[in-house]
Amino acid sequence: MSIASELPFQTPVYLDNSSTTRTDPRVLDEMIPYFSVQYGNAHSRSHAYGWGAEKAVDQARERVAALIGCRDSEIIFTSGGTESCNLAIFGVARMYEEKGKHIVTTAVEHRACMDPIRALEREGFTVTYLPVDTDGLVEPSAVEAAIQDDTILVSVIFGNNEVGTLMPAREIGAICKARDVIFHLDACLGLDTEHIDVDDFGIDLMSMSGHKMYGPPGIGALYVRRRRPRVRLRAQMLGGGQERGFRHGTLNVPGIVGLGKAAELCMEERADEKVRLTALATRMKDKFFAELDHLYLNGHESKRLPGLLNISFNFIEGESLMMGMSKVAVASGSACTSATLEPSHVMRALGVGEDLVHTSIRFSLGRFTTEAEADFAVEQCLVAARKLREMSPLYEMVKEGIDLSTIEWKHD
């Protein structure tokens, strides 16, 4: 009998919840009838199938709205977080470009926001990319200083997908309100544990993603403020006039139902889940730092998503470490860019040295992560790390007291 079969849980242990979460079985239960029994088009208003679908969509809209403290008419359903971010950024740029063509953002945004902003820059928009400190935080005062007379949008990530740092969104929102600038928050991560009220935070646009909050993949939402101010967007695709004309196309009723249920569960469980995940991540971090030296926690110590740990294991290449702990599913850097060998733009923005950029592992815990699984992951990582350290001549030199920064490396 294999070791894995003797364990009280399935392997590989899944610790990549910042990439995607398992759809909660309670969510799936609500979705299933809308695939095979209540399968009407929500815009077919001439028969009971359409009426049933429309009612289900209305309920889901109310649930998502309740999660963030807005009116249900301010929720626009999309295909996911990437579309929500694109619609927010391109939609504002196209609608307000006569007013101005300046955008403020940070150097640590997700590619779903960074790439549209760079595309606009190539079209003639000007962009201020604000630096962050070594913890990944942007100073609200820097946002205020960056706003110009022609600034039309400030776009900031809420919970960083690589290092977990939580941005000071409420303070940034207050600045944008005072300067009459539209504020977009990329909140695809964090809604399962953090409480965001769009009025309290001064948010005008907010992106959400179903598969990051235990809902199904392929569904997301964009909050679009309707008053003080009434935000207008230019639609990015045309077709049937759905979703207030902002997002045309037949609605994904099963996905929308799933997102609504996921939002309801997050609202009910986020407080307890934040406490549980904080304790579990702290348990893992403390074990790592007690057993190994030359480790570095990336991101802010306390202002962070509770279930995300990004740790640099100095003198160990991250990809090798992941291969050595094959019974644990983790990521090195962002899951959206880990297929490349390019150093993470987030880690570079934090000022992480080149020697540490490629040594980081992201452990992201979730609703279904147990203490036994977390302990198993730590042990698997420690075994692999010790073995790789034994093979590292650099680590051996450091143990002997040699300062690597004083060595002149020669290349043939």
Distance CA 108, CA 157 (A): 8
> How far is it, in rounded angstroms, from Cα 24 to Cα 31?
11
**Is 3 within a domain?**
no
Let me know the angle formed at the C-alpha of 205 by 200 and 207, rounded to the nearest 5 degrees: 105
Residue 333: the pLDDT is 59
Do 160 and 121 lie in one domain? The reply is yes
Average pLDDT across the chain, whole number? 93
Whether residue 342 is predicted with pLDDT greater than 80 in this model: the reply is no
Exposure of 163 in the CB half-sphere (CA atoms within 13 A): 32
Which residue is listed with tokens 């779903």?
A: 112
Structure tokens that stand for 181 in this block: 């600038």
The answer as to whether 30 is a domain residue is yes
Are residue 61 and residue 145 in the same domain, yes or no? yes
pTM for this one? 0.94
**371 and 254, same structural domain?**
no
Q: For residue range 252-294, what is the model confidence (pLDDT) as tens digits? A: 999 999 999 999 999 999 999 999 999 999 999 999 999 999 9
Domain extent, residue 97, equals 25-266
Q: Tens of pLDDT along 375-403?
A: 999 999 999 999 999 988 777 777 767 77
The strand order across the sheet containing 295-298 reads 295-298, 308-313, 360-364
The one catalytic residue in 113, 266, 336, 381 is 336
**Residue 60 counted as domain residue:** yes
| In contact, 315 and 356? CB cutoff 8 Å | no
Render 89-125 in DSSP notation, one character per residue: HHHHHHHHTTT--EEEEETT--HHHHHHHHHHHHTT-
- DSSP assignment of 18-71, as one string? TT--PPPHHHHHHHTHHHHTS---TT-TTSHHHHHHHHHHHHHHHHHHHHHT--
Which H or E element spans position 264? helix 253-291
Domain boundary among 210, 245, 266: 266
Looking at the structure, tell me whether residues 283 and 256 fall in a common domain.
no
Residue type, 165: T
Residue count (the chain): 412
**Mean local confidence (pLDDT), 129-153:** 98
Q: How far apart are the two ends of the chain, measured CA to CA in Å? A: 50
Q: How high is the pLDDT of residue 221?
A: 98
Structure tokens at 145: 């200083």
From 303, 307, 256, 311, select the one nearest 282 (Cα to Cα). 307
What is the C-alpha radius of gyration for the chain, rounded to an integer number of angstroms? 23
pLDDT for 65-87, tens place per residue? 999 999 999 999 999 999 999 99
Q: Which of 266, 301, 333 is the last residue of a domain?
A: 266
Rounded Cα distance between 193 and 272, Å, is 8
- In this predicted model, what pLDDT tens digit does every residue of 300-337 receive, in sequence order? 999 999 999 999 999 998 889 999 999 999 998 544 45
Asked if 381 is an active-site residue, the reply is no
Residue 161 banded pLDDT, cuts 50, 70, 90: very high
Is residue 142 located within the same domain as residue 31? yes
Q: Based on the structure, what is the number of domains in the chain?
A: 2
